[in-house]
Amino acid sequence: MLHQLLFMLSSMLTRRIAQSISHYSVNNLFAKSLLSPREHYTTTNVPISNFQKSLLAVSSAFTAFFDPSRGDMIATLAETTSSIFLNKLRDEMLRDSKGRQILRERPIINSKTIDIPNLRTLPEGTFGKEYANFLDGEMVTPDTREKVKYIEDEELAYVMQRYRECHDFFHTLTKLPVSVEGELALKWFEFAQTKLPMTLISSVVGPLRLSSKERTRLFEKYVPWAIQCGSQSKLLMNVYFEECWNKDIAEMRKELGIYLVE
């Protein structure tokens, strides 16, 4: 863990320096040109300095802790702390054919792009049907995700967006519930997969809100599973979920190296 943290810290510094020294210019025009040709994941892009980013990160971490209902704050925390790691995540996608296809096509997940009524008609056991069951069971829709702000780079903004949009697919595949415990377990799983700091930070802060029984279960059952399964399975960001509706979900788990927590 210490190793990971040190690694993060140093990559963060590296990136900082690299950005400031490589004339990596923040293009203000981005805000206007963010409309992707394919889809409207229109984001309000606010160019801010690294210092401001750190301030935002710290303050949103506090807000998230004291007021868990402020979903926007959790999102802000993620964006400001993770631009370095989004780069890493994008690199992982760039190394993979499917990841590249996703980056190139920039598919969007919402109720307009995905025909959910049709997914409901698929046979039981298919990924599409399981996903529809999940949405119906939890009474959520794919439209409730925070919009991406504060990320100037158009492609990185997309990676963040995609990461959020895939969250419910992760639930579907791992069968983790939308409870505090389930979410935390999923965070650890995502962390093992992506090393994104947002997942790490909330997994450290989050358990303080659990009862001691829940906490014991989290650390003795879920976390070991999440770390094991998350680090050995294929990076889920490189899965083109939209092509998998008809796949047998058990088959899919096997291909991806995912097993369920007992």
Partner 1 sequence: MIDKNLYDIAIIGGGITGSALACALVNSQKTKSRRIALIEFNNMSNIREWKPPHLQFSNRVSSLTPRSIQFFKDIGVWENINHERIRPYKDIQVWDGISNARIRFNSDDSISINKNIEAIAWIIENNNIQHAILTKLAQYKDSNIDFLENTTVKRIMFDDVNYENEQFDLSDWPSLELSNGKVLKTRLLIGADGINSVVRSFASIESLGWDYNARAVVATLQVEPQVENATAWQRFLPTGPIAMLPLNNRFSSMVWSTTPTLASKICTLPSNNFIHLVNAAFRLRIADLEYLYSQLENCDIEFVKEFEWRQSIEKKAGIGNEIFPPLVLDVQEKSRAEFPLKMRNAESYVKERIALIGDAAHTIHPLAGQGLNQGLADVQSLVKVIEHGVVTGQDLGNIQLLKNYSSDRYLSNLMMLGAVDKLHKLFGNDFAPIVFMRSLGLQVINHLEPVKSEIIKYAMGIE
Q: Nearest approach, Cβ of 253 to partner 1 (angstroms)?
A: 25
Q: Convert residues 8-37 into a mask of x (bound to partner 1 by CB under 8 A) and - (unbound).
A: --xx-xx--xx--xxxxxxx--x--x----
CA dihedral 189, 190, 193, 198 (to 10 degrees): -130
Q: Which is nearer to partner 1, 25 or 144 (CB)?
A: 25
Q: Where are the alpha helices (DSSP H) in 30-120?
A: 30-33, 50-66, 71-94, 97-105, 116-120
CB of 240 to partner 1, least distance (A): 16
Helix axes of 50-66 and 71-94: crossing angle, nearest 10 degrees: 130
| Window contacting partner 1 (CB under 8 A); options: 51-59, 93-101, 118-126, 189-197 | 93-101
**What are 47's two structure tokens?**
């160019």
Helical segments of the chain, H only: 2-21, 30-33, 50-66, 71-94, 97-105, 116-120, 127-138, 154-165, 167-174, 180-194, 197-205, 212-217, 223-232, 249-256
Residue type (1 letter), 140: V
Rg from Cα positions in the chain:
18
> Considering the complex, what minimum distance in angstroms separates the CB of residue 34 from partner 1?
10
168 is in an annotated binding site: yes
Q: Mask 212-231, x = binds partner 1 (CB under 8 A)?
A: --------------------
Contact segment (CB under 8 A) with partner 1 among 7-15, 58-66, 75-83, 135-143 equals 7-15
User: What are the beta bridge partners of residue 248?
Assistant: 126
40 is in an annotated binding site: no
Interaction pattern, residues 125-144, with partner 1; x per rule: CB under 8 A = --------------------
Looking up tokens 């659990």 gives 210
Judged by beta carbon, residue 14 or residue 111, the one nearer partner 1 is 14
User: From the CB of 185, what's the least distance to partner 1, in Å?
Assistant: 29
Nearer to partner 1, 72 or 155 (CB): 155
| 183: Cβ contacts below 8 Å, ≥ 6 apart | 176, 206
Question: 171 labelled as ligand-binding?
Answer: yes
Q: Does 104 bind partner 1 (CB under 8 A)?
A: yes
How far is C-alpha 68 from the geometric centre of its chain's CA atoms? 18
Closer residue to partner 1 (CB): 77 or 156: 156
Residues 143-182 that bind partner 1 (CB under 8 A): 153-155
List residues near partner 1 by CB under 8 A. 7, 10-11, 13-14, 17-18, 21-27, 30, 33, 90-92, 94-97, 100, 104, 153-155
